[in-house]
Structure 1
Amino acid sequence: MQNFDLPTISPNWRFIDHTTFGPQFDALQSFAYDDTLCTSIGQQRANPTIRAWVHHQTVVLGIQDSRLPCIDAGRSLLQSNGYRAIVRNSGGLAVVLDEGVLNLSLIIKEEKGLSIDDGYNLMFSLIKKMFATYPVDIEAYEIIGSYCPGSFDLSIVGRKFAGISQRRIRGGIAVQIYLCVTGSGSARAKLIQHFYEKAVQESPTKFTYPDVQPETMASLNELLEANLSIADVMLLLLKTLQNEGVQLAVQPFSEQELVLFSENYERVRVRNEKALRSFNL
């Protein structure tokens, strides 16, 4: 697909705002929401969708994290710091979600010739446009020493503030990003650093876990020397979409989608419990 951007995918997008649901909003529900939307969009029953969401005091682990040799101790460490641990339904490693982290999902229909990198670049392009008025250069490359490192880590002057992931299921693609907006990026990284110390304790591991260096991570407010809130960044998002010619419509879930969401939530809940079954908590 040439000139792969939001308007060329479709001028009409659905918009779902889950940023104000509060501490009781379960991160497992977000997995179920995006899987439900992937199905609806993949089957061409719904327009492509932009979903924004915030979760409080949650560390999302990867499957590999959940199999670390001393994972019970790692999870206890997170719990003692007020964080709940869950296991994601896609790839990647541990990340921190809290009230200062904005998550965005771009959910589109999978098309022939639409590469993995096309999906990542779609999100990367959107973020660059959102912050184009700031005199900074946002780059995408792996930040060694960050948590959940990947080739589409987003950084400013070498310090990571965001990471992009991608899930393809049932004919749909969910490109997801977490943006550390407020607070201390290094404090979040230090939490994950301590998690790995407790969860590994110098025991042999089946994968190379990140050697987290807290100074490699920062929030947007730290990097931009700004005082942005989640609401401010949401406004930047909406203004950028308007400037791009994207038309947004707020549409509740259909009855069919609600049934599918319930089924998906039960599936991810059971899967999460199975992944965490070894924990003695």
Structure 2
Amino acid sequence: MEEALNLLEQKEWRIIDQSQSGRFVSALHSFGMDDTLCASVGAGLSPATARSWVHDRTIVLGIQDTKLPFINAGVQFLQQQGYDCIVRNSGGLAVVLDEGVLNITLVLQETEKGIDINRGYDAMWFLVKEMFADFPVEIEAKEITKSYCPGSYDLSIGDQKFAGISQRRLRKGVAVQIYLCVNGSGSERAQIIQEFYRISKEDEKTKFTYPDIDPTVMASLAELLQTEFTIEDVMLRFLQTLKKHSGTLHSGQLTVTEAPMFENYFDRVVDRNEKNHEQEIIWVQATPE
């Protein structure tokens, strides 16, 4: 635990808060941002950076999802429900983003000793536990097999998942990313992904095992803690908790060095998504403002 907590102990944390502005741009923007910050922080050009982001009705698919036998029909279903669709550049499967889901990325420099992958996951888990330490509940990190995008670091209360953690490593930078279902219905989000897989897979046998989703195993923090949380409420808890582990906490944006780097990484993310046209997948194309 101590080694994981040490990752949070930084002399300086730069905060890039896009929990409001992110709603007006494509989620592709966020993956370009995290790659930019990985490269910048990894090179020592910027301090450790924490970024928060929220996007409007978006389904983020994993690479394996694009290999579903009837993916085109599944994507069309999602679009009919009013969702944008993109493919992430890190691991995992389909997840839901909307105005009730807060995403947080911690970007750290990987030193010569390196950051063990579990240490990064543990740091985020301990951070979330500390954020909600005033509630008499146990936040566990374990796989919730019938959730969407199941993984060994699913965060749950009473076996109901409210968050998932992933990592992105690039140029000696480590981005530990989490999505937190803050409010709204966790089961309704899960039903959308459940139907997506039903349509996209039908009864075909596939080499990859896709999740058999049970919507009842997913919930939001508002549901689990019986508290009317807003994104702003959870952002305040996040900032207060991170401040305890920081010499200096300050707000910032991309630097003049990082801005052109972002253009490059964003273009790469867009190019990767456009390659899905070769598979005759129909995508909603979203462009940044």
Band of TM-score, shorter chain: over 0.9
Separation in 1, partners of 2:277, 2:128: 34
How far 1:113 sits from its partner (Å)?
Answer: 4.0
TM-score, scaled relative to structure 2? 0.94
Q: Distance in 1 between matches of 2:34 and 2:83?
A: 23
Corresponding residue of 1:158: 159
- Find the counterpart in structure 2 of residue 40 from structure 1: 40
From the superposition, tell whether residues 6 and 203 of structure 1 become closer, same or farther in structure 2 (CA, over 3 Å). Answer: same
Partner of 1:183: 184
1:7 and 1:65 map into 2 onto residues whose CA distance is: 32
1:103-252 alignment, distance < 5 Å = 103-111=103-111, 112-252=113-253
**Gap regions ≥5 residues in structure 2:** 284-289
Whether the 8 Å CA contact 2:9–2:245 is kept in 1: the answer is no
- 1-side partners of 2:114 and 2:282: how far apart? 46
> What letter corresponds to residue 248 of structure 1 in structure 2?
L
Amino acid at match of 2:58: T
Q: CA deviation at 1:96?
A: 0.2
Aligned partner letter, 2:118 = D
Q: Find the counterpart in structure 2 of residue 95 from structure 1.
A: 95
* Counterpart secondary structure, 1:106: strand
Structure 1 equivalent of residue 281 of structure 2: 279
Residue of structure 2 in register with 1:20 after alignment: 20
Distance 1:55 1:6, change over 3 A: farther
Counterparts of 1:3-82 in structure 2, within 5 Å, are: 3-5=3-5, 9-21=9-21, 23-82=23-82
1:29-70 C-alpha deviation (Å, 9 max, x unpaired): 101101000011111010000000001100000000011000
2:287 aligned partner = none
CA RMSD after TM alignment? 1.5
Q: What secondary structure does 1:3 align onto? A: helix
Amino acid at match of 1:44: G
Gapped runs of 5+ residues in structure 1? Answer: none
Once residues 43 and 130 of structure 2 are traced to their aligned partners in structure 1, the CA distance between those partners, rounded to angstroms, is 30
- Provide the C-alpha distance between the structure 1 equivalents of 2:245 and 2:45, rounded to a whole number of angstroms: 24
More displaced 10-residue stretch of structure 1: 199-208 or 89-98: 199-208
| Equivalence for 2:86 | 86
Mean Cα displacement is larger for which, 143-152 or 232-241?
232-241
**Equivalent residue of 2:107, what SS?**
strand
Contact 1:16 1:50 in 2 (8 A): yes
Asked if the contact 2:12–2:246 (Cα under 8 Å) also holds between the matched residues in 1, the reply is: no
CA 1:22/1:265 → structure 2, altered by over 3 Å: closer, same or farther? closer
Q: Distance in 2 between matches of 1:240 and 1:62?
A: 31
Query: Is residue 7–residue 123 contact of structure 2 (8 Å, CA) maintained in 1?
Result: no
Letter paired with 2:37: L
Percent identity of paired positions between Structure 1 and Structure 2: 52
Counterpart contact for 1:54–1:97, Cα < 8 Å? yes
Secondary structure of residue in 1 paired with 2:24? coil
CA shift in 2, pair 1:242/1:84, >3 Å: same
- More deviation in 204-213 or 219-228? 204-213
Q: What SS does the aligned partner of 2:3 have?
A: coil
Amino acid across the alignment from 1:190:
Q
CA shift digits 1:213-259 (9 cap, x unpaired): 00000000000000010000001111112233442122222222100
Contact 2:165-2:178 within 8 A present in 1 as well? yes
Q: Give the deviation of 1:25 after TM superposition.
A: 1.5
Q: Contact between 1:94 and 1:147, CA under 8 Å: does it hold in 2?
A: yes
